[in-house]
Amino acid sequence: MYLCLLATLYYLVSNMKLTREETVYFVILTIAILSSDRVKSQGSSPTWHRLDDAVYLVESSTVLSFDQAQSRCQEYESNLAKVDSDEIQAFLTTFITPPLRDTRCFWIGATDRVEEDQFKWLDGTLVTYDGWAPRQPDNYGGNQDCACLWSSTREDRHGQWDDNRCSSKGNFICQRGLYDFEFTTPRTNPGFALVYCAVDVDSEGETLFPDDVKLSIGPTLSSSRPISFSSTSRDGEFRNNSFLFSNLSETDQIFCYVGELPSQLDSFSLAIVSPEFNFYALPQLTTGPIAGEITSSSITVFWSHWTSSFDSGDGPVVGYLVYLQTAVEDWTEAGGIDSELEDGDPKRIIEFLLTGLDPGTEYNISVSAVREGPGGEGPRGPLVSVKTTSLNGSAFQGDSRRVWIALFLVSLFGNIILLAALVVMCKWRQEKQDLSHLRAAPARAVGARGSDPKSSHYELPQQSGVGHEYQGLKVTGSSADEYQGLKMTGRGAVEQVYADIEDPDKNYINIPS
């Protein structure tokens, strides 16, 4: 067409005597026509037709293979249509009625490439709705693996499915959710994934609540597991939910959607993503702890704060965990301590007291650094082996035992000395009480015996009758009367002399009244 216009312009200018002004006019007119046609050829934005919470594009002017059609739909942030209900099937048929051409078939998003006769939608779910034309699918020629929707003059075909070679050229139908989805996957600790699924509602301004935006994970949508959102935010008509989860395998896909999971009767807005997650390197201490004071039941350990310039991994480190291991037990967590420094001072020393240990036991001690966020604990660093003191083998315990033995002996000897002193004192008091009844004998009594005047003689009080006994005295005279410890040494009724049995040199006189 462009060539025809140019040829016409050349003919007019060459064969017609036109003024300069008329020539310029024809040139401007030709340029305007060409520009108008170019704009028209580019076309306006494709027309999307809404049904429930999805919109559909029925492309009837472009013919592509199945894979090319899917790529074109993805350029529109959509996928080949998922036709899984009578309502959707009838809705799409209205855009190809009356029949456009008997041989025209529109690609939809179902294929059995993976397993013959097992047609699945592009999201991995099994095709359960039966929209096939009679005697279809038939896999004619052994290579018909992609489904399409007929526009046909035949009533048994029009608006029904057929299988065709995926390389064949055909029109296509795209489908996307009513909402636009955006994924963000921030960097996380290994083993955990954080996904932000943001949904921007369409121009009709529908309101989305936090529970409306959902996410599930799995190899296919039908086998996926739902994940509860961790946080949500709202900015105008923009709803953004965050989802934190673990145990993500290499085959898993992430499905973010609005509404309920698909069924045979309901459609929903869906976005599929297989993001490449970026993980932090967990921190690890380069050097192990050092043992300080050691007792039979406790050990004090010290270690240097984690630093990015000296130790491995990514910070910030927010704490430490201390582990113990014995020869007969596995590693066990013994406690932890928080850190106030994001990137530590290498001169900063951490101190930790381990208690409740067994005496005389050798322990391996190791420390792990913990960065912020779930799953942030790094591997254990180098270990140190420390043995607690023994209750019966340490110098302190031996000295203590000797001290107790010495105290016991001192106490024993002290009690013996005290007991002996008490016995002596009691005996002395008894003797003093017995001698309190005696008085010194007159010199005449002593002289009568011819004894030394300086010898000790005592006079007993007068006694009525005979036969009286005095402790430690007996009669030493001719009288047969004897007194305990004394004996009578003379005769006569006037006085009696008693002698001490234990000490005969001591004499006592009894003067009768």
What is the CB-side half-sphere exposure of residue 16 using CA atoms within 13 A? 12
CATH architecture of 180-273: Sandwich (2.60)
Q: What are phi and psi of 46, to 5 degrees?
A: -60, 150
Provide the residue-wise pLDDT of the chain in tens; the chain has 513 residues. Answer: 444 444 555 555 555 555 555 554 455 455 444 443 333 333 456 788 878 767 899 988 888 999 999 999 988 878 999 998 888 888 998 888 877 666 688 999 999 888 888 899 888 888 888 889 888 888 877 888 899 998 888 877 888 899 889 999 999 999 987 777 788 888 899 888 888 988 887 655 667 788 888 888 887 776 788 899 999 998 777 889 999 988 877 778 788 887 665 543 344 556 666 667 788 999 999 999 999 999 999 999 999 999 888 899 998 899 999 999 998 889 999 999 988 765 556 568 899 999 999 999 999 999 999 998 889 999 999 999 999 998 865 444 545 566 677 777 777 877 888 888 888 888 777 766 655 555 544 544 444 444 454 444 445 454 444 444 444 454 454 444 444 444 444 444 444 555 555 555 555 555 444
- For 409, phi and psi rounded to 5 degrees? -65, -40
- Residue 345 confidence (pLDDT): 60
The third-level CATH classification (topology) of the domain covering 49-177 is: Mannose-Binding Protein A; Chain A (3.10.100)
Distance CA 443, CA 441 (A): 6
Q: Which pair of tokens denotes residue 356?
A: 């409740």
CA proximity to 60, closest of 110, 95, 88, 87? 95
- Asked, as a colleague might, if the bond just before 453 is cis with ω within 30 of 0, I would say no
| Helix residue spans in 436-461 (DSSP H) | 443-449
Count each helix (H run) and each strand (E run) in the chain, helices first: 6, 28
> Which residue ranges make up each domain of the chain?
49-177, 180-273, 290-387, 392-426, 437-513
Domain 290-387 in CATH 2.60.40.10? The answer is yes
What is the DSSP pairing of strand 317-325 with strand 362-371? antiparallel
Q: Which pLDDT score, from 0 to 100, does residue 12 have?
A: 53
Between CA 175 and CA 266 the distance in angstroms is: 14
Rounded to whole angstroms, the Cα distance separating 249 from 117 reads 28
- Do 26 and 18 contact (CB within 8 A), yes or no? yes
Cβ contacts of residue 83 below 8 Å, gap of 6+? 89, 92, 108, 110, 129, 131, 149, 161
Sign, Cα dihedral of 39, 42, 46, 47: positive
Q: Which among 55, 168, 173 has a CA at the least distance from the CA of 122? A: 173
Cβ neighbours around 304 below 10 Å, total: 20
Rounded distance between C-alpha atoms, residue 12 and residue 191, angstroms: 76
Asked if the domains 49-177 and 180-273 are classified in one and the same CATH topology, the answer is no
SS3 of residue 136 by DSSP: coil
Nearest to 120 by CA among 138, 108, 106: 108
